[in-house]
Amino acid sequence: MTDTLTHTNTYDAESCVIRPGEGEKVDSGMVLKIRARDMDGYFSMMEGCLQPKQLLAPHTHLRETQAVYVIRGELEFEVGGEGGLRFTAGTGDYIIKPKGVEHSFWNASDEPVPYIELSTGQNFESFQVSTNQANKIRVSREAASKFDMKIHVERIPTMLRDHGLTSVSGMKLPGSLDAARVIDLLKPILG
């Protein structure tokens, strides 16, 4: 696909079709498939994959509403923070994550689960591109205020323990995990 799709009559199939394996991969593992600039700024689409026993850290977006489409497998969702709504979404399900509401999801299975993320506006896309660095959680927390997001890092150890998870998307953790060790690792980030 070309860098941007113009809204003149000069487009062709190559500029309109994003094929499997195409897109801009960022360090988080997300692949930017359709940029907001190509959708008049209204939304962007990304493809991601949660590995077995992996958590996407709980967070809140103040600017954008998001939706997830589960391509294959099952993901566990929590919408509304601790004590909020919890449910399983499977192959072919669409999930809405409203703006201003804490949410998280994880892969409790032993197989990778690919999904599509749709975000209103270009804010989340810009966040993904700007945090294209090694320590995703630290960089994410630093970038959160710029992109009107809050990463609820303090909840990660409990979520890992309670749901039998072994990794956090975008964060390198040691092989053996226990809540106390994760808290020690996160102390410099939590400040």
Helix (H) or strand (E) holding 186: helix 179-190
- Identify which of 136, 140, 120, 138 has the alpha carbon closest to the alpha carbon of residue 63: 120
Q: Are 187 and 138 in contact (CB under 8 A)?
A: no
pLDDT-derived band at 25 (thresholds 50, 70, 90) equals confident
- Tokens representing 169 are 């998307």
Query: Residue 89 maps to which CATH number?
Result: 2.60.120.10
The residue segments making up the domain with residue 127 are 24-190
The confidence score (pLDDT) of residue 18 equals: 87
The confidence score (pLDDT) of residue 34 equals: 87
pLDDT: is 70 or 26 the higher one?
70
Structural domain includes residue 163: yes
DSSP 107: E
Structural domain includes residue 93: yes
pLDDT digits (tens, 9 = 90+) for 66-76: 999 999 999 99
30 has pLDDT over 60: yes
105 has pLDDT over 70: yes
166 has pLDDT over 50: yes
CB atoms inside a 10 Å sphere around CB 28: 21
Total number of domains in the chain: 1
- Identify which of 49, 53, 4 has the alpha carbon closest to the alpha carbon of residue 28: 49
Structural domain includes residue 12: no
Residues with Cβ within 8 Å of 184's Cβ and at least 6 positions away in sequence, in order, are none
Structural domain includes residue 4: no
Structural domain includes residue 172: yes
Structural domain includes residue 14: no
pLDDT-derived band at 1 (thresholds 50, 70, 90) equals very low
